Structure 1
């Protein structure tokens, strides 16, 4: 179930696959696929884009995202190295950025809902 509440259109700073988490590029007004749990996560794209194409980024609401591992409904989600959603599990004292909360359980390759709730967590 998707319910995008706020979308912002950006240009893709590199190729972006569908259903991926994105972050700001080093250049203003460009986004790229997220590549780490420590990236400043911005939102989710449901449609892919080639470098230079325009892409809508969902920053608030409920979006569809591809899972990069086993995810349990209710888990806090962050990005893997390919912009896919994985359960956030920072080591003690380590900070992770999160994109939101898993709306459904799934495994790597599944497309599931994420309740967008960007923020940071620290391992205990």
Structure 2
């Protein structure tokens, strides 16, 4: 069971479902957007999704329940897929990239569609060497 840390309410660029990774938006201060990859800094994980006014609560620290986009094993570092679901960070998928962001790591095993706990540890991975 997740024990979320700091939770903050943000405005959102658009609708974001619950239990999804979101990123810091460049559009406005205190705004987030649905994460769709590993190319922007992760803000955290949505709790209930956006409301009618595009406001959203985001878990920023510690752990949070995230929907898995594929089968994951505890300890795997994760990034977002195109729908904001957690998928494994595989360096081979980013050869030649200069700036990538990891959201954190999975705390439990689970299949695609599982709502599992992720320990939030957003950080930059830079200069992936070419093959």
Normalising by structure 1, report the TM-score: 0.90
Structure 1 match to 2:4: 4
Q: 1:111 to 1:93 in 2, by over 3 A?
A: same
SS at match of 1:60: coil
The corresponding residue for 1:109 is 113
Q: Per-residue deviation at 1:93? A: 4.3
CA gap 1:37/1:51 in 2 versus in 1, 3 angstroms: farther
Maintained 8 Å contact 1:88/1:96: no
Q: Report if aligned partners of 2:72, 2:87 keep a CA contact under 8 Å in 1.
A: yes
Residue 97 of structure 1 corresponds to 101
Contact conserved, 1:14 with 1:52, CA < 8 A, in 2? no
Indicate the structure with greater strand content: 1
Look up the SS of the partner of 2:116 in the other structure: strand
- Count of residues in correspondence between the two structures: 124
Q: What does residue range 1-124 of structure 1 map to in structure 2 within 5 Å? A: 1-25=1-25, 26-50=27-51, 52-91=53-92, 92-94=95-97, 95-121=99-125, 123=128
**Any conservation in 2 of the 1:90–1:96 contact (CA below 8 Å)?**
no
* Structure 1 unaligned blocks of 5 or more: none
State the TM-score, normalized to the length of structure 2. Answer: 0.85
User: By how many angstroms is 1:53 displaced?
Assistant: 2.7
51-60 or 78-87: bigger deviation:
51-60
| Distance in structure 2 (CA, Å) of the matches to 1:23 and 1:52 | 19
